[in-house]
Amino acid sequence: MNTPASDASASIGEVGERALIDRIRQRFPDSPGTLQIGIGDDAAVDQGVRGELQVLTTDAMVEGVHFDLGFSSFADVGYKALAVNVSDIAAMGGAPRLALLSLILPQRLTVADVDRLLDGFAEMAAEGGVTLAGGNVARSPGPLVVDVTAVGSVRPRRILTRAGGRPGDSLYVTGTIGAAAAGLGWLRQHGPGAPEPREIAALTARHRRPAPRLRVGSILGRTRTASACMDLSDGLADAVTAIAGASGAGAVIDANALPIPDAARQWFAAQGRNPVMAALAGGDDYELLFSVPPRRQGRLRTVIRQSRGVTITRIGELASSPAILLKTDGASEPLPSGFTHF
């Protein structure tokens, strides 16, 4: 017989799949709205939002690739697994609504471990207005894998893509860049459990729990301010290259304008790295990069007023030349590459 799922110290192997799913279902009751059938059936059923298009995205987080349990708690992993998907929907100008959660679990985990992961997921779901509609549980012979599919909605004329920019459009980025990469670098250098100075804790927090820019993305789409948009999952350099390529343009980025936190600059410099190059190439920022045509600058001022304190910085512009350049004090060089898995 399986151990009762109420025993949080039991391993998930002792509890069994069905009991674990029942425990998850009790944590995430169906919410009223468009969801007709939620957790517990072969599939979820949603009626959609009238007059709006569906936005669908998926991202998997793999232990040892996207997170290290020596540096991040189970709650951090659950939070981030949903946050990175919410960020994709924000980059499209949409509003997240539903999520599917697949947990591929090593047998070493306990029920309490899964509970903590769900705590983080539920926290992000509450912040983003997301209902858990279903998912899957399977056994992993190796690492923990958390796979999320998110569904959002957006009105047809408010969709943001990477392909709408034109030469002469200004490029803007929300928040700051480089903090998450610096924070992860510090964690790897100092190891699990090392006390974190206050300025470092701000960097490591950006790695553990990115903040999707849902409000800014929504306003950019609703006001039709941005001509193109993308989130910074794999770094600013990657996003600039992607938007320029999709838009059939080049780009010029001003190194002196990049919003890199002082603590990140100092940490990169202490490692003998160029802070600008390191911040451009580092991933996990989950800020938004977007382009704005000259005639829409008035709309941008509205976005800034309504952004609730999220800074928005002009960092360059799209260009007619196909080159993608970094300009530093009048000298230009090719923009570095962003993060890639392969």
Mean predicted lDDT score pLDDT of the chain? 94
What pTM did the predictor assign? Answer: 0.94
Residue 316 backbone dihedrals phi, psi, to 5 degrees: 160, -155
pLDDT score, position 250: 98
Q: Is it the case that residue 13 has pLDDT exceeding 90?
A: no
Strands 95-106 and 131-140: parallel
Cβ atoms of residues 264 and 321 within 8 Å: no
Please tell me the distance from the alpha carbon of residue 271 to that of residue 284, in angstroms, as a whole number. 20
Mean pLDDT of 213-233: 97
Residue 182 backbone dihedrals phi, psi, to 5 degrees: -65, -40
For the chain, percent of residues with pLDDT exceeding 70:
96
Pick 291 or 37 by higher pLDDT: 291
Strands 131-140 and 228-231: unpaired
- The dihedral over CA atoms of 249, 255, 257, 260, expressed in degrees to the nearest 10, equals 120
pLDDT score, position 161: 97
Cβ atoms of residues 176 and 211 within 8 Å: no
pLDDT score, position 32: 67
Confidence of residue 11 (pLDDT cuts 50, 70, 90): confident
pLDDT score, position 14: 87
The per-residue pLDDT for range 97-129, each reduced to its tens digit, is: 999 999 999 999 999 999 999 999 999 999 999
State the residue for tokens 């936005």: 55
Please tell me the distance from the alpha carbon of residue 214 to that of residue 128, in angstroms, as a whole number. 8
Burial of 255 (0-12, 13-18, 19+ CB in 10 A): buried
Confidence of residue 2 (pLDDT cuts 50, 70, 90): low
Query: Which domains are delineated in the chain?
Result: 12-157 (3.30.1330.10), 170-334 (3.90.650.10)
- Which tokens in the block code for residue 47? 């009626």
Specify the amino acid at residue 338.
G
